[in-house]
Amino acid sequence: MGASAVSAAILVGGRARRMHGLDKSSLDVDGLPILERQLAVLRQLSDDLMIVTRAGAPLDGESPYARVGLRIVSDVISDGGPLGGIHAALVHAHAPVTLVVACDMPFLSLEFLRHLAARVEGVDVAVPRTPDGYHPLCAAYAHTARPFVERQLATGVLKVSALFSMDLRVAELGPAELAGFDPEGRMLSNVNTPHDYRQALSRTLDR
């Protein structure tokens, strides 16, 4: 799948309450901010990259993310949480497939994201599933997923995993499939808390 066939969106709109309001994307992991680590991967996959922030956040030159030189878009529907971020990504995407990643995932794999985007063929969403459940903030969404996201937002049920109880077509990437791309089991980890951040730092040292 070529770079023009895939959009990529980094969701930065969370309030990071468990990280005391810190910008998680700016946290340094192995010598680089998480956002820079993600961009080093995503720029190899897509010609249409965007930062998705919450409604009302500054855009363009006033945004703290302007330095990375990407399109900056905001939620179309306010207070929709990560589900609203996925919706905004699909609204603003130029390509038929959109990779959506949370801004606090430092260990994204180029090979895995390329495989994930390819797995959307014939379905509405391709999503990893581990024993902990679905990982919809590291998933690939076809443009056909947008009506399902809008329908769920309209109900006020903002839990993203509730999408997968609807009748959209889902390709699940289970533990056996994931292991081929992530033998260390760290790729889908994120940095929600100070403890998570310490764990991320320790994982770079354990390589």
Assign residue 177 the CATH number of its domain: 3.90.550.10
Q: Which residue is it, tokens 């994930």?
A: 116
In the predicted model, is pLDDT for residue 111 greater than 80? Answer: yes
Whole-angstrom Cα Rg for the chain? 16
Looking at the chain, which runs of residues are DSSP E strands?
6-11, 28-29, 32-33, 48-53, 71-74, 97-102, 125-130, 133-134, 138-142, 170-173
> Can you list the alpha helix ranges (DSSP code H) found in 49-143?
81-92, 110-118
Structure-model confidence comparison of residues 138 and 27, the more confident one: 138
- Cα–Cα distance measured from residue 176 to residue 75, given in angstroms and rounded to the nearest whole number: 35
Residue-range definition of the domain harbouring residue 154: 3-205
Question: What pLDDT is stored for residue 62 in this prediction?
Answer: 67
The pLDDT value given to residue 203: 67
Beta bridge partners of 133: 130
- Mean pLDDT throughout 113-127? 97
Average pLDDT along the chain: 88
CB distance 99 to 9 below 8 Å? yes
**pLDDT at residue number 14:** 58
Give the number of domains in the chain.
Answer: 1
Question: Do 81 and 177 touch, CB atoms closer than 8 A?
Answer: no
Angle between helices 81-92 and 146-155 (to 10 degrees): 150
Strand-pair category, 32-33 with 28-29:
antiparallel
What does the pLDDT average to over 162-171?
92
